[in-house]
Structure 1
Amino acid sequence: MSTTAQLSRRSFLLGSGGVAIGLSFGLGQAELAQAQTAAPGGFAPNGWVNIDTDGQVTLYSPASEMGQGTMTAIPMLLAEEMDLDWSRVTVRQAPSDPKRFGNPRFGGGMTTGASRTVQGYYEPVRLAGLQARLVLVNAAAQALGVPAAELRTEAGRVVHTSGRQMGYGDIAKVAQTPAELPKVDKAMLKPMAQFKLIGQDLDRVDVAAKSNGSAQYGIDVRLPGMLWASILRAPVQGETPVAVDDSAARAVPGVKHVVRLPHGVAVVANSFHTAKTARDRLQVTWTQTAKARAHDSARVKAEYVARAQKLDDAGVDFIQHGDAGQQLAGAVKTFAATYTSEMVSHICLEPMNCTAHLSGDRIEVWAPAQSASFVTGAVAAASGFKPEQIKVNITLLGGGFGRRVEADYAADAALVAKAVPGTPVQVIWTREDDMTHDKYRPLTGQHLVAGVDAQGKLVGLLHRVVSEGIYARVVPPAFKASGGKDAPVMEGSEITYDIPGHRVQFLIEERGIQAGFWRGVGPGYTKFAIETLVDEVAHGVQADPLDYRLQLLHKQPRAQAVLREVGRMSGWGKAKLPKGHALGLAFSDAWNTFCGMVVQVSIEQGRPKVHKVWSAVDCGHALQPRNVRAQIEGSVIFGLSALLHERMDFQGGVPQQTNLDRYRVLRANETPLVEVKVLMTDHHPGGIGEVGLPPVAPAVANAVARLTGQRVRSLPFPQV
């Protein structure tokens, strides 16, 4: 039987809740590959599930794998509801096909970030898996000549009450497209008590290849006849080339082309080393008109602070709950504090890179990217190709942290490939390129005012944030449609605490240095401000910081539970600490996950030394508890590095930190022990990849306040 006949007879779409899942029977690996390259307009059942006649099942992972475990988590959801035998499952990266693989929480785009992957796919993927299982049961019932109600499924087979059974591979030999797909709804999904895979510590499917060296990252892509390119950019963001002298660069042996780009100059050569060597010999005159040339970090930060404190400059209301002004006016006592955070870089281990190949009227790219959709958009905008002429292959990512949501490096590769048609070209950024042309976590100024009543209860909170925009630059239509509310900048300012009057204002600045998505984005600095001020209020009304937060969370039993648990883990109020040590506490509710954190801190040579971190986390259905712990551990270290050391400074728009010799990160001897307790609760899962970061800085700052009496209000921390 031809592949075409198989595709039409035994392949079909399942789906509910915004995700369409292709299910196919009996396609071998070669046929699956052919299905992926079906002609435009043809039906390609390449996603999400193929059950081969030998019982092997291929599942597709729609999100980018950058160490957060998504390549295991999402296929696991299908496997759970389909009752698959996990040992017979193979997972592949899904091709770029937003109509089938798009995340509902990204408007159907194929984007991985903002801790939305599991949150977005969880329910619709499970529903489609349930529907697939019912199709298998009905097909088995027909083959066995028994009622479907007498059948159950387990570990890749359908079992009759008599003991007769059919493996899924056997069903694949006879199953055909049903005349009508079974109807499913949420009430039919497995309850938590029946989970066989969700909640188990399965080995991640990406780890073996990463351990033995066979894993393919973007920088590992090799194609016949491939060349390499290195691109010279202006010393200041936003400048463009005016005049180019490339004679010295062209004289370097191995150089094939010098390509003028809108934002720089690319050198294409037979190796990256040659391309980089020649690039450094380019003589380029740049424009001198970019807005960023007026950016001096110290002055800009002072201006942000002044604007944050200017209360008659209202900006845009991001949150308005109750009447914060009235509550503050009637407060018995108020607490005001101003906070700042510096720009920080992503410093992904794998530098930005992308490979592109232009053939005829189509262009194919290989990118370690967090968003196939953004890559498609960037390549289309840069090269003029239509989306249907662009094929995007997502590789493994050597670190993402939000940087690889944006796809400027893919636009680079497309532009260079267009200049050398027929030849694959790999563009690689150097570490210096990465750091000086990053999309940094924004510099911010925040001013908060809290008020308490006669009983010391927090009744009013005003929170003002001054920052460069992110959505305003990346997705202007969405920013405009929101009324000027920049969601990633302001994320984390939403609070679970019961405060009668709560108002949050966003005041946008546009200073020319590009701000972008950085692990944790808004909660990394908004929770720092909120949690240190709440701690200060608790001490100001002579309340224990843990008890005070528990009172503020009296309507939130899950949030209270993580705080009580982390208090128990750390011995809060009972532990006998070494002299010169103190505990600090913080809480985060970002990404629909509750996280309590306690740190043990001392002061060494005027700097905080973090000895141990305890964290209790409730993310609802924890798909992989061991991986949840790993994500908390990793984000704690990431956040600790930023609060102790990391900063990007600019003078006249020129970055002052250009590599790790000037941009300090956490060293191994500064790394604390991290103990994590995952509270398993029966709720829709929240995010997890960034959850451990927001409470780190305020917890450490609150411990420092206990030790020194001084409140830390800036990131990174100053000398104490």
Structure 2
Amino acid sequence: MSKPFELHSRAISRRSFLIMAGGFGVAVAFGGLPGSALGATVAPTVEGDYRPNAWVTIAADGMISIICPASEMGQGIMTTLPLLVAEEMDADWDRVRIVQAPSDAETYGNPGFYGIQLTGGSESTRGYYDLLRLIGAQTRKVILASAAAMLNVPARELTTEPGRVMHVPSGRTLGYGEIAADGPLPEPLPQATETDLKPDDQWRYIGRRDIPRIDVPSKVDGSAIFGMDVQLPDMLYGAVLRAPVQGERPGTIDDAEARAVPGATHIVPLSYGVGVIGETVEATRRAKDLLKVTWSTSSRVRNYTSSRLLEQFRSVARDVSQTGIEAFSKGDADAAIANAAMVIEADYMSDLVCHATMEPMNATALVNGDTVEIWAPTQGPTGTQGFAAEVVGTTPDKVKVNVTLLGGGFGRKAEADFIVDAVSLAREVEGRPVKVIWSREDDIRHDKFRPLEAQHIRVGLDSDGNIAGWRHRIVADSIFARTNAELFARAGGHDDVVTEGAHFNYAVPAHRIDYIRQDNGLDIGFWFAVGVGYTRFAIECVIDEIAAAKGTDPLQLRLELLRDQPRGRNVVETVARIAEWDRERDGRALGLAYSDAFGSHCAQIAEVSLNRATGVIRVHKVWCAVDPGVAIQPRHIEGMMIVGITNGTGHALFEQINIVDGEVQEGNFDTYRVIRMSEAPEIEVAVVPASGSPVGGMGQVGLPPVGPAIANAVARLTGGVRLRHYPFLPERVKAALEA
């Protein structure tokens, strides 16, 4: 299905815009912007009548409700974003309640995603950072204006402390609750500009380590509401049988046995499958298993065999006569390589991988005439509104989306297929809510996988061993061709999320990146770090190959190439220091990799051992140094790095989807291998923010460097054996050792 949005763009102008929310307006102008018991709580609804803007409401008892516009899927964003508002308005964090934003992109859309509501791309903090700080500053100005009227003093004589306005000359104070109860809202509402923001040396909350995530207590005590937990009166359940090959349609349907299942109430033919509605989850699952369906045989995906196609992709990448889309060009890379004293060439490949979120896809929908209400663990409320409206034949403004907590997302829950399931079935039983829950097998076999891809890199070195030219060719299908065809067309057929990360900040005089699309019909999608996860694999491994060819320490080579990048040099130097890069290890080796993606800088070193007889790699420890620009919550950043490194280790060693003649071969965790607790490395993280730098994204930063760090460690351990194919399966490692 085509999607009316995309997951990677910061093209919107941030110079100025007007935030409107009902009768509340805030003029926002940007001037050249490039406790032990401390903690807010989560609340289901807003309370209070004092509303300085659409984001903040203050109750008479002093409780402050702050809207969180992004989806919480374990990255801590439900704490981070409201904290920015609380910081600037001088809220008492112990008196704050966080409320999930309603589906209202005009009010709560992300400036980093063209103003739609969407969580992904490590864009939430970057997209909302300036806006929410200004919302907080504007809220404080409204509170001060109200207090000035109540105290009959000029607002310039007032200051604030958390939750309280102070008039120092008279010694009088007013709590925010008192102002909410009796204070008049000023007319017109004051405006906020950059000059109203606190300098960082006055921050009370930003940068503190003792502010816990507000979503954790409910997850510990079991009261948290994920999509799977939604319960509504008179609710039915649903399941959908999909074709074993993507794109096929049901032909004949024998549902006699399915209809006989106790509790099964409806069998619903769909354009892409067969739905079952029932009184219980068990009834729908049983009936679904008893359906006998013949499927069409016209899908192009029937010709999709991943192992064969990957070899084809590699051949295309090597064949310079097959031209693609120029994604980036600086200097004349071809001429520099042609005149080089030495040329290094390498192929790097990655298999398909699935998301395998802990919480499988699910959604609950209620259809009444032309109105729809949805409860779902979705990353994209705006997209959800659009697709639900399309199913029912209504308009997006008549679709209400209630975003629950997400049991993992990684880009998968930005899709709408599970939403379409729930709305399609709810339409059949108008007036009764229907909850659709995918089985784990459905979840894995019908995922939107990270694309199969092959890369070919040619690097020319001059007579001194310096890089003269770098040519990078990336062969893969397009995500945007499916999710945002208009953007894909405007870009001339380039997909910048598929090639993301190939444009690095190393000092290379001539550099060219080409994208060559291979369209084989399979839907692919956004997966944790997307393109950066494999482009940095290739780049960072080639950097080590260059260092070996020069006889140079790979650490020193990176520092040389980052000579104009102080933030990059700092994380590389920091991780080398904490890992003791120069210390010899008995039977183990260290590998290094660096990434500057998502606006943050991250360097990692992996300590690895190898069983040569079995080909099994063991990652013992990973050190990480990360520069997020502004470290809003340092302890939470450490947690996100641990998540990224753990997932990245599993993805590099184990994760693999195989498709044969269009059918996915894996179906559950017995066949789709993920990292186990006993295999997770020890992880040490150093957060080294750069003062004065813009805030960077964090959610996906930890994953890209760990795979190449592992591969580089194996190369050092084995005297130069290069692993160039994700994942590093034992049989692949043994083959590389024997080559």
TM-score, length-scaled by structure 2: 0.92
Identify the residue that residue 315 of structure 2 maps to in structure 1.
306
Deviations 1:126-182 (A, max 9, x none): 112111111211221222122222211110111122232111111222333323333
Give distance in 2, aligned partners of 1:250 and 1:558.
64
Displacement of 1:494 in angstroms is 1.5
Deviations 1:90-139 (A, max 9, x none): 00111110001000011001000000000000001111211111121122
Displacement of 1:363 in angstroms is 1.0
Give distance in 2, aligned partners of 1:93 and 1:649.
38
Deviations 1:552-586 (A, max 9, x none): 1111101100000000000111x2312x2100000
2:136 aligned to 129, 134, 139, which one?
A: 129
Displacement of 1:33 in angstroms is 7.2
Identify the residue that residue 38 of structure 1 maps to in structure 2.
none
Q: Secondary structure at the match of 2:733?
A: coil
1:353 equivalent in alignment to 2:362: yes
1:271 equivalent in alignment to 2:280: yes
Give distance in 1, aligned partners of 2:175 and 2:22.
17
1:199 equivalent in alignment to 2:207: yes
CA contact (8 A) 1:15 1:128 kept: no
Give distance in 1, aligned partners of 2:340 and 2:88.
53
Following superposition of structure 1 onto structure 2, how do residues 541-560 of structure 1 map, counting pairs within 5 Å? 541-560=550-569
Identify the residue that residue 170 of structure 1 maps to in structure 2.
178
Identify the residue that residue 601 of structure 2 maps to in structure 1.
594
Kindly provide the amino acid, as one letter, of the partner of residue 609 in structure 1. Answer: R
Kindly provide the amino acid, as one letter, of the partner of residue 194 in structure 1. Answer: Q
Identify the residue that residue 269 of structure 2 maps to in structure 1.
260
Kindly provide the amino acid, as one letter, of the partner of residue 726 in structure 2. Answer: L
Displacement of 1:11 in angstroms is 6.7
Question: How big is the alpha-carbon RMSD for the aligned residues of Structure 1 and Structure 2?
Answer: 1.9
Identify the residue that residue 468 of structure 1 maps to in structure 2.
477
CA contact (8 A) 1:356 1:365 kept: yes
Deviations 1:485-537 (A, max 9, x none): 21221111120111111111111111122110110100110000000001110
Kindly provide the amino acid, as one letter, of the partner of residue 228 in structure 2. Answer: I
1:74 equivalent in alignment to 2:81: yes
Identify the residue that residue 252 of structure 2 maps to in structure 1.
243
Query: Residue 348 and residue 9 in structure 1: after superposition, are their counterparts in 2 closer, same or farther (change >3 A)?
Result: closer
Identify the residue that residue 16 of structure 1 maps to in structure 2.
28
CA contact (8 A) 1:15 1:124 kept: no
Query: Residue 364 and residue 33 in structure 1: after superposition, are their counterparts in 2 closer, same or farther (change >3 A)?
Result: farther
Query: Residue 72 and residue 181 in structure 1: after superposition, are their counterparts in 2 closer, same or farther (change >3 A)?
Result: same
Following superposition of structure 1 onto structure 2, how do residues 575-594 of structure 1 map, counting pairs within 5 Å? 575-578=583-586, 580-594=587-601
Kindly provide the amino acid, as one letter, of the partner of residue 577 in structure 1. Answer: R
1:719 equivalent in alignment to 2:733: yes
CA contact (8 A) 1:47 1:94 kept: no
Kindly provide the amino acid, as one letter, of the partner of residue 733 in structure 2. Answer: Q
Q: Secondary structure at the match of 2:683?
A: strand
1:87 equivalent in alignment to 2:99: no
Identify the residue that residue 33 of structure 2 maps to in structure 1.
none
Identify the residue that residue 343 of structure 2 maps to in structure 1.
334
Give distance in 1, aligned partners of 2:355 and 2:228.
17
Deviations 1:399-418 (A, max 9, x none): 10110011110011111011
2:156 aligned to 149, 158, 161, which one?
A: 149
1:47 equivalent in alignment to 2:54: yes
Displacement of 1:242 in angstroms is 1.1
Q: Secondary structure at the match of 1:489?
A: coil
1:285 equivalent in alignment to 2:294: yes
Give distance in 1, aligned partners of 2:46 and 2:723.
57
2:71 aligned to 52, 64, 77, which one?
A: 64
Q: Secondary structure at the match of 1:490?
A: coil
Kindly provide the amino acid, as one letter, of the partner of residue 662 in structure 2. Answer: G
Give distance in 2, aligned partners of 1:499 and 1:10.
51
Q: Secondary structure at the match of 1:632?
A: helix
CA contact (8 A) 1:10 1:175 kept: no
Give distance in 2, aligned partners of 1:536 and 1:345.
30
CA contact (8 A) 1:461 1:502 kept: yes
CA contact (8 A) 2:146 2:185 kept: no
Identify the residue that residue 633 of structure 1 maps to in structure 2.
642
Kindly provide the amino acid, as one letter, of the partner of residue 435 in structure 2. Answer: Q
1:184 equivalent in alignment to 2:192: yes
Kindly provide the amino acid, as one letter, of the partner of residue 706 in structure 1. Answer: R
Q: Secondary structure at the match of 1:611?
A: strand
Q: Does 641-650 or 358-367 show the bigger shift?
A: 358-367
Identify the residue that residue 527 of structure 2 maps to in structure 1.
518
Deviations 1:440-489 (A, max 9, x none): 01100100011122222222111110101101111111111122121221
Deviations 1:664-696 (A, max 9, x none): 111222111000000022222111111110001
Displacement of 1:346 in angstroms is 0.6
Give distance in 2, aligned partners of 1:274 and 1:558.
57
2:507 aligned to 498, 514, 535, which one?
A: 498
Q: Does 185-194 or 595-604 show the bigger shift?
A: 185-194
Deviations 1:11-57 (A, max 9, x none): 73325269xxxxxxxxxx9994799xxxxxxx998831101111110
Displacement of 1:360 in angstroms is 2.9
Give distance in 2, aligned partners of 1:389 and 1:11.
21
CA contact (8 A) 1:535 1:545 kept: yes
Kindly provide the amino acid, as one letter, of the partner of residue 80 in structure 1. Answer: E
Give distance in 1, aligned partners of 2:402 and 2:315.
47
Kindly provide the amino acid, as one letter, of the partner of residue 709 in structure 2. Answer: A
Displacement of 1:185 in angstroms is 2.4
Deviations 1:373-429 (A, max 9, x none): 111122122232210111111000011011001111001111101111111100111
- Number of residue equivalences: 694
CA contact (8 A) 2:48 2:58 kept: no
Q: Secondary structure at the match of 2:632?
A: coil
Q: Secondary structure at the match of 1:522?
A: helix
Displacement of 1:542 in angstroms is 1.2
Moved over 4 A (4+): 8-11, 29-35, 43-46
Query: Residue 413 and residue 9 in structure 1: after superposition, are their counterparts in 2 closer, same or farther (change >3 A)?
Result: closer
CA contact (8 A) 1:233 1:265 kept: yes
Q: Secondary structure at the match of 1:177?
A: coil
CA contact (8 A) 1:229 1:425 kept: yes
Following superposition of structure 1 onto structure 2, how do residues 309-328 of structure 1 map, counting pairs within 5 Å? 309-328=318-337
1:649 equivalent in alignment to 2:690: no
Q: Does 521-530 or 150-159 show the bigger shift?
A: 150-159
1:479 equivalent in alignment to 2:491: no
Following superposition of structure 1 onto structure 2, how do residues 356-395 of structure 1 map, counting pairs within 5 Å? 356-395=365-404
Give distance in 2, aligned partners of 1:663 and 1:32.
42
Give distance in 1, aligned partners of 2:534 and 2:340.
26
CA contact (8 A) 1:11 1:45 kept: no
Query: Residue 10 and residue 719 in structure 1: after superposition, are their counterparts in 2 closer, same or farther (change >3 A)?
Result: closer
Q: Secondary structure at the match of 2:66?
A: strand
Q: Secondary structure at the match of 2:73?
A: coil
Query: Residue 459 and residue 190 in structure 1: after superposition, are their counterparts in 2 closer, same or farther (change >3 A)?
Result: farther
Structure 2's unaligned 5+ residue stretches are 1-19, 31-42, 735-739
Structure 1's unaligned 5+ residue stretches are 1-7, 19-28, 36-42
Give distance in 2, aligned partners of 1:68 and 1:265.
35
